[in-house]
Amino acid sequence: MPLNEILALVMIGAFFLMLLGGIPVAVCLGVTGFVFGYAGFGPFLFTLLPARVFGVITNYTLLALPLFIFMGIMLEKSKIAEELLDVIGFAMGGLRGGMALAIILVGVLMGAASGVVGATVVTMGLIALGPVLKRGYDTGVACGVICASGTLGQIIPPSLVLILLADIMGESVGTLFAAALFPGLLLSGLFIAYVLVLGLLNPGALPPIPAAERAALSRRDLALKLLRVVLPPIALIVAVLGSIIGGVAAPTEAASMGALGSIVLAILSGRFSLPVLRDAVHGAFITSAMVFLILIFAQPFGLAFRGLGGENLVHDAFGMVPGGLNGQILFLMLLLFVLGFFLEWIEISYIALPLFLPIFMNAGVDMAWIAILVAVNLQTSFLTPPFGWALFFLKGVAPPQVTTGDIYRGVIPFILLQLLGLLMVFTFPGLALWLPNAIGW
């Protein structure tokens, strides 16, 4: 094996060792990229680096990231999710698992309104976990529903994952948003079906809201509350997603409209204030800075790996996978699933994924389909122990009696459901490709 290819393998190993040692991701990327790139080629390898970094920080599409992040944080601060859960929960309270169904539906709405998983899981954990446990819900089931519904923002547009995947794969954001719509609804449907079946098989784990409690709110008042609380977020979702998928506005323009819309909703709810605005701007700046720092330092890492012949190593490794192209796609999905046990989605997206994409591009595979498979897979990584971030988010706000074991036990059925959804999108590509083809993307 040539020396440069050995250096490429050692560089990957060094990156993982530094990461497991607790060093920030951006630092791991920059140090390993510069050190091993310089060892292999000297300073000549990095003559393209300024242009690559300039391309990242001036990418117009990526400007949508901080705007969508701001929108999600503003919706969290304005307590809209709390009102949604309360109203939808009472509307479905007569069903076994009615509160769980409400949590899933609010997860869909919040995911479609913001795309920020951490904000959704923390908000749902704070406002929903205590009440459902007091109503007699099984602890594991309650934790699993909250974690799984919170991760729907990974696949339901406007997902931050989809925006970054569009940049990585050279696809338009509108195409991936359109392609992700039906798979996202499919996963939501699988979650709802699981809750309904579990309510029939094990009614004690998912009791309905007591009739006396439901009777305190008349049907007329409930209908008015549904209109007042549910319609504004839906209108924001339709405005943002409809303008992107319909080709009326660019993703950045739609994101700015969504950010303004979140402020309007906060004002209408009576919870807008300068401290709330300051907190939302501060949170959006911190999260955006973290994302862009990783994107910038991923450039020297990618240059070094490609310069050292890493792509040839990946190509040769995939050539040994049985089953042809389908076998290679399944191998990639398995690899990303395993990496999801240990790495965050942004690390997988900008470090592991670009190593394999040229193989599928050269084979003529529809990259929008691959992007949706990857997005569903990365969504699963938020739930997989030991480092699933949704698990950490929920544990951080859960009552003391909720153990880590309860959370792990609760998410296992939803991990299996997401793998089933991934298999369905793999088996039936039309689930992802029908809508983009129908609207001409």
Record the tokens describing residue 378, joined without a space. 């990365």
- Cβ partners under 8 Å of residue 12, min gap 6: 305, 310
Percent of the chain whose predicted confidence (pLDDT) is above 90: 11
- Integer Cα distance of 225 and 232 in angstroms: 11
- Integer Cα distance of 201 and 184 in angstroms: 26
Average pLDDT for residues 93-108, to the nearest whole number?
Answer: 80
Residue type, 39: A
Cβ neighbour number for residue 316 with a 10 Å cutoff? 10
pLDDT in tens, 20-29: 777 877 888 8
The range of the structural domain enclosing residue 259 comes to 3-438
Q: What's the domain count of the chain? A: 1
Residue 411 has pLDDT above 80, yes or no: yes
| Secondary structure (3-state) at 334 | helix
- Cβ partners under 8 Å of residue 396, min gap 6: 122, 125
- Integer Cα distance of 217 and 91 in angstroms: 10
Residue 116 has pLDDT above 70, yes or no: no
| Greater model confidence, 386 or 77 | 77
Average pLDDT for residues 54-72, to the nearest whole number?
Answer: 79
pLDDT in tens, 357-399: 888 888 888 889 999 999 998 888 778 876 676 777 787 778 8
DSSP single-letter state for residue 316: H
Cβ neighbour number for residue 318 with a 10 Å cutoff? 17
Cβ neighbour number for residue 313 with a 10 Å cutoff? 18
> Looking at residue 217, what is its pLDDT?
64
The closest alpha carbon to 111, from 147, 138, 64, 141, belongs to: 147
Under a CB-based contact definition with an 8 Å cutoff, are residues 114 and 153 in contact? yes
Residue 114 has pLDDT above 90, yes or no: no
